């Protein structure tokens, strides 16, 4: 049982490190590379909107902006879930590990934006740290709520 817990804990933290590495990889792209990636996502979403025949006429620049900001939110929502899970599996203090998870994500978001100051054409934005932090907080709250719900349902069986 102890060996099983150790493997789960190691795997949970490994997922956190891998996801942080993915975030670092995206942040380390030059402005041109990052813009190409988000432009291709924007084009795909615009084609999808047209395909399903939604009568939405959003200028491409606005759509592109919201997709970039949504990416920040989603990437850090996932990080919040992963960090909270790793703390949960590590059996940290149940009361504090939600706050610890959020703090880890906010610190990483801050470091990530600082890192971007040194990438050609990129900048570090306080608003991005705020969006990242909101995403991580919602991811943490979601995980905590779902785990409580599952525990509650299992206790009823």
* pLDDT confidence of residue 80: 97
Q: Which two tokens stand for residue 147?
A: 């785990």
Q: Is residue 55 part of a domain?
A: no
- Give the number of other Cβ atoms within 10 Å of residue 123's Cβ: 10
pLDDT digits (tens, 9 = 90+) for 45-88: 888 877 777 677 778 788 888 888 999 999 999 999 999 999 98
Measure the CA–CA gap between 125 and 112, rounded to whole angstroms: 10
Residue 124 lies inside a defined structural domain of this protein? yes
Does residue 52 belong to any structural domain of this protein? no
The boundaries of the domain holding residue 82 are: 2-37+69-156
Q: Is residue 17 part of a domain?
A: yes
pLDDT over threshold 70, residue 157: no
Q: How confident is the model at residue 39 (pLDDT cuts 50, 70, 90)?
A: confident
What's the whole-number mean pLDDT along residues 96-101?
A: 89
Pairwise CA distance, residues 65 & 48, whole Å: 17
Residue 57: inside a domain, yes or no? Answer: no
**What's the pLDDT at 94?**
62
User: pLDDT tens for residues 7-38?
Assistant: 899 999 999 999 999 999 999 998 888 888 88
The answer to whether residue 60 sits within a structural domain is: no
Which among 130, 105, 106, 129 is positioned nearest to 116, based on CA atoms? 129
Confidence band, pLDDT 50/70/90 cuts, at residue 4: low
Residue 44 in domain: no
Q: Within a domain: residue 48?
A: no
Residues found in the chain: 157
- Is the pLDDT confidence value at 2 over 60? no
Would the pLDDT of 95 be above 70?
Answer: no
**φ/ψ of residue 92, rounded to 5:** -70, 170
pLDDT tens string 101-112? 999 999 999 999
Residues 6+ apart with CB under 8 A from 67: 38, 41, 42, 45
Give me the residue label for tokens 């050609």.
120
Instruction: Tell me how many domains the chain contains.
Output: 1
């Amino acid at each position: 049982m102890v060996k099983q817990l150790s493997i789960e804990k190691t795997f949970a933290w490994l997922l956190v490190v891998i996801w942080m590495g993915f975030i670092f990889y995206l942040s380390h792209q030059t402005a041109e590379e990052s813009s190409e990636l988000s432009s291709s996502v924007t084009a795909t979403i615009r084609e999808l909107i047209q395909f399903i025949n939604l009568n939405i006429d959003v200028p491409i620049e606005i759509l592109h902006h919201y997709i970039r900001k949504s990416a920040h939110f989603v990437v850090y929502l996932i990080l919040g879930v992963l960090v909270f899970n790793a703390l949960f599996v590590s059996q940290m203090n149940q009361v504090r590990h939600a706050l610890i998870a959020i703090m880890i994500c906010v610190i990483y978001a801050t470091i990530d934006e600082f890192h971007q100051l040194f990438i050609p054409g990129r900048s570090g934005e306080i608003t991005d740290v705020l969006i990242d932090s909101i995403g991580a907080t919602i991811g943490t709250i979601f995980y905590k709520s779902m785990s409580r719900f599952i525990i509650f349902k299992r206790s009823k069986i």
